[in-house]
């Protein structure tokens, strides 16, 4: 399996600098979910891989979650993210 280094950046029009830079290494963009609720941002990713080899079946499971609060004055509607 090939690991790629993906970075996710969260920004807002009310703040000049990025709100967060998150390293989601090893996950495809489709595996990453961002949820904003009650002034908090939750970034999660989940991936399960199963391989059949000549020695049997192997599987790996990875899960990532990070939650943080938006700074005062930031509106959830103004927050954007990109991978």
Of 3.30.70.580, 3.40.50.720, 2.60.40.650, 2.60.40.790, the CATH number of 29-73 is: 2.60.40.790
Token pair, residue 35, equals 């949820």
The structural domains of the chain, with segments of one domain joined by +, span 29-73
> Do the Cβ atoms of 50 and 57 come closer than 8 Å?
yes
Beta strand residue intervals within the chain, DSSP E = 7-12, 20-23, 32-37, 40-53, 56-69, 79-82
Q: What is the pLDDT along the chain (83 residues), one digit of tens a residue?
A: 344 444 566 676 666 667 777 888 888 888 888 888 888 888 899 999 888 888 888 888 999 998 888 777 777 777 777 76
């Amino acid at each position: 399996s090939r690991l790629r280094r993906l970075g996710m950046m969260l920004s807002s029009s009310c703040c000049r600098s990025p709100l967060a830079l998150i390293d989601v290494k090893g996950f495809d963009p489709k595996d990453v979910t961002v949820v904003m609720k009650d002034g908090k941002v939750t970034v999660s990713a989940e991936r399960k891989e199963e391989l059949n080899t000549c020695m049997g079946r192997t599987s790996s499971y990875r899960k990532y979650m990070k939650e943080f609060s938006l700074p005062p004055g930031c509106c959830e509607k103004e927050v954007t993210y990109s991978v």
